[in-house]
Chain A
Amino acid sequence: MKRPAATAAALLALLAAPLFYAGCGNAKAPAPQLTKPTNATECVEPAATMRANHMNLLRHERDNIVREGDRSRKYRIEGCAQCHTKRAEFCDRCHDYAGVKPECFDCHYLP
């Protein structure tokens, strides 16, 4: 170890590199590109509401649909599939981006 100061500086620079890299570069992950349905222009609620609350709407109505047998409810997972015909290009892209793993599709078929 002939030059301890230089070695320490190099090591520090190496360790801190990710911090500088994140600070200097564009830290944002690319926003998910969603394929919108062609057969309808509007969802059952405004897009912002659906984006934030679709899981709550579905979960809330679920009990009425399953336990009361009321299949005329507005928010049904089968209803989603009527317009959003490609799950991989819509649901999955946002779920992957947000890092959530819903269990809906374990049982319910969405193409």
Chain B
Amino acid sequence: MPEMDRRSLLKMGAAAIAGTVIGNGVTLYTSPARAEEGGGPPGAAATNALEIPSKGKARWGMVIDNNKCTAQCTACTAACRTENNVPLFGDERYDGHWIRKVTLTPERGGPEKHLPLLCNHCDQPPCQHVCPVAATFTRHDGIVMIDKHRCIGCRYCMIACPYKARTFVFKETSEWTNKDVPKRAHGVVEKCTFCAHLIDQGKIPACVEACNKSGEGAMIFGDLNNPGSAIVKYIRAVATKGIREDLGLEPKVSYTGI
């Protein structure tokens, strides 16, 4: 019965490479041992010291409810600067920005919109595609990051990014506002990391925490692969929209009320 043999062989093969879909067309294969452990989100208690948070099944995303975001509030940007040592020199030529408050003016009239704009951590990141030294990379949990050890400061990624989420470090800060996070040396490009260092500890990004604390609660952060998470429930209930979705970059930050 050669056909049966072939079928059983294929079944075995499928079972051996049981993987986790972490994005469109992106599958994270896990070894059988790790699959048995469950590999929960970083928030779960790490029973195994070898468990790597970024190699779990999570795929981080954010929804910003722009109806709740007010024009004057800068809690998220201020928190980001403090958390990640993002400098503000008072000279716009040198200032770094990981998250900015942007004003949108509708062409056909209507009220202005103020929305926080940060790195969208695209599933198809153009910044990563153009990087000549592979300094920009996507982590297993979908966070697009820059390896500043490797970055040569060519700034192709800044041109490629449609969100203007990246800034070049023209000038270094002299002091750390948060000593747990490295600052950047002159000559590299910096951008939002979704506070990966906090996510790995099971916390949420500084901007989201600040937004919740300020009482606005406009930012929802969570695991897009977890059907029970608040962000997935929200996306299923409310129509959300990414900025420049027409570019097909599949951003993981989406908005309502824009």
Contact = CB atoms under 8 A, between A and B. Distances in A.
Interface of A: 62-63, 66-72, 78, 103, 106-109
Contacts of B125: none
B185 interface: yes
A69 B140 contact: yes
Q: A70, A107, A108 — which one has the most chain B CB atoms within 10 A of its CB?
A: A107
Chain B: interface residue count, which band? 20 to 34
B141 A67 contact: no
A108 B181 CA distance: 7
Contacts of B233: none
Interface string B162-182: 000000000010001001101
A107 B185 contact: yes
B179 A109 contact: yes
**Dominant SS among interface residues on chain B:** loop
B229 to A, nearest CB: 20
A40 B200 CA distance: 27
Given A69-B196, A70-B52, A107 B139 contact: no
Interface in B44-62: 49-50, 52-55
A23 to B, nearest CB: 43
A74 to B, nearest CB: 11
B137 interface: yes
A20 B105 CA distance: 80
* 9 closest residue pairs by CB, A with B: A69-B54, A107-B182, A109-B179, A106-B185, A70-B52, A108-B182, A109-B176, A107-B183, A66-B147
A68 B184 CA distance: 20
A72 B52 CA distance: 8
Interface in B162-217: 172, 176, 179-180, 182-185, 196, 200
18 contacts: A67-B139, A68-B54, A68-B139, A69-B52, A69-B53, A69-B54, A69-B139, A69-B140, A69-B141, A69-B200, A71-B200, A72-B49, A78-B180, A103-B185, A106-B172, A106-B183, A108-B182, A109-B180
Nearest to B172: A106
Given A106-B183, A107-B185, 19 more contacts: A66-B147, A66-B149, A67-B145, A67-B147, A68-B52, A68-B54, A68-B139, A69-B54, A69-B140, A69-B141, A71-B53, A72-B50, A72-B52, A78-B180, A103-B185, A106-B172, A107-B182, A108-B182, A109-B179
A108 B148 CA distance: 12
Contacts of B139: 67-69
A76 B172 CA distance: 23
B78 to A, nearest CB: 21
Contacts of B149: 62, 66
Nearest to A110: B179
Contacts of A71: 53, 200
A64 to B, nearest CB: 9
A71 B49 CA distance: 10
Contact of A68 (B55, B172, B183): B55
B100 to A, nearest CB: 23
Nearest to A103: B185
A72 B148 CA distance: 20
Contacts of A70: 52, 54-55
